[in-house]
Amino acid sequence: MHLIVDANIPAADACFGAFGRVTRVPGRELRRAHLSDADALIVRSVTRVNEALLADTPVRFVGTCTIGTDHIDRDYLAAHDIGFASAPGCNAEAVADYVLAGLLNQAEREGRPLLERRIGIVGAGNVGSRVQARLEGLGMDVAVCDPPRAAREGSAGFVSLDALIERCDVLCLHTPLVREGEHATRHLLDARRIAALRPGTWVLNAGRGDCLDGDALYRRLARQDDITALLDVWEHEPGIDTALHARAALATPHIAGYSLDGKLRGSLMIRRALAGQLDSNSTLELDAICPPPAVAGLTLGQALPVEEALRLCARALYDPRRDHGALIRRAAAQGMAQGFDACRANYPQRREFATLTVRLESKAQTLAAPLRAAGFRVSVPPGD
């Protein structure tokens, strides 16, 4: 069996080598010629998988190690009896880490406590529901807009997007890209809704770039400069709008879910799906391919303010300002499109909050609940 695997998918040999020969190809460079003798194709979101790529190839299985599937022509796969699998939820914890770290940084920058802000979550799927759970666990005022879930489950617990905009001063977008239909999300946050944002609102997009009208957001920022943009996803990636990039308080290259843990979960989910298609009982667990974290624990000996403690623990593992700066430097040296992809291709190892155990001495034990809510492990020494 011959498998073509995106070069940026980690542990490809460990995950897929048992099935046959593995060839690594950069995702944006994948062409039909690479698939002339391939039985399986494993990709990420940067590769469009459609008839143009697959026609007249022997590929019988396609897997994407991502939550989203808008880059896959699933109708074509089904019509040609090509097996398919994605990895929903694989990096949801990493994105929730990114959101919390980004919001904590912005609160520090503005000198206003994050915990006093009213949060609106747009899209409460694998990622949005985790963000909701963490922020509510911290005691924050959270409202949720998710029309597909409201249609299935009833309206209790959900509000409209316009009501969310009126009520909240932070909007976190976590919607998939749906181009057509009753619940289409392309430009969900359009010019009218961007104009309606209250002064002081933060807009964080870690879902899909096309769900937000980037031109309208830029015009609001350029004209009034009274809202804040925290953007990980963009229209026209990797050739993103440099003017909007320059106006964003946090501008990162679609890496919110780029934890090592999340990437490896995605690889293992596709491995399991492929094994199922092949009627193989080959098994592999995350612990077997995931190295120990460089920072596995820290000790807090004082009762710090909650947000200070959260920032300290978050930065022990991840600070999104690093990625913001890296994109600026790469774009200046290589141009935006090449710099954007270079950041992703050369991304440093990052671990999730849950890999950090925070030991709380007696004076710091009031921090146990918020640290657990934020996603960290907490250890209280016996007898304290």
Annotated catalytic residue within 44, 149, 208, 245: 208
CATH topology of domain 92-251: Rossmann fold (3.40.50)
Predicted pLDDT of residue 94 = 97
271 given a catalytic annotation = no
The CATH code that applies to domain 297-379 is: 3.30.1370.170
Confidence of residue 67 (pLDDT cuts 50, 70, 90): confident
32 given a catalytic annotation = no
Please tell me if the domain spanning 92-251 has the same topology as the one spanning 297-379: no
Annotated catalytic residue within 220, 237, 245, 324: 237
Question: How large is the average pLDDT for residues 155-172?
Answer: 96
Task: Give the other-Cβ count within 10 Å of 313's Cβ.
Answer: 23
CATH homologous superfamily of 2-86 equals: NAD(P)-binding Rossmann-like Domain (3.40.50.720)
* Averaged confidence pLDDT in the chain: 96
254 given a catalytic annotation = yes
Residue 98 has pLDDT above 70, yes or no: yes
What's the CA angle centered on 287, arms 292 and 361, to 5 degrees? 50
Residue 362 has pLDDT above 80, yes or no: yes
Residue 294 has pLDDT above 80, yes or no: yes
Dihedral sign, Cα of residue 75, residue 77, residue 83, residue 89: negative
- Distance in Å from the first CA to the final CA of the chain: 57
Residues sharing a CB contact under 8 Å with residue 91, sequence separation 6 or more, in sequence order = 66, 67, 256, 257, 258, 259, 262, 263, 265, 266
* Domain layout of the chain by residue ranges: 2-86, 92-251, 297-379
Question: How large is the average pLDDT for residues 186-208?
Answer: 97
Residue 342 has pLDDT above 90, yes or no: yes
Please tell me the pTM assigned to this model.
Answer: 0.91
Question: How large is the average pLDDT for residues 200-207?
Answer: 97
Predicted pLDDT of residue 384 = 58
Residue 282 has pLDDT above 80, yes or no: no
Residue 281 has pLDDT above 80, yes or no: no
Annotated catalytic residue within 247, 254, 271, 351: 254
Beta bridge partners of 377: 357
Residue 383 has pLDDT above 80, yes or no: no
Predicted pLDDT of residue 283 = 81
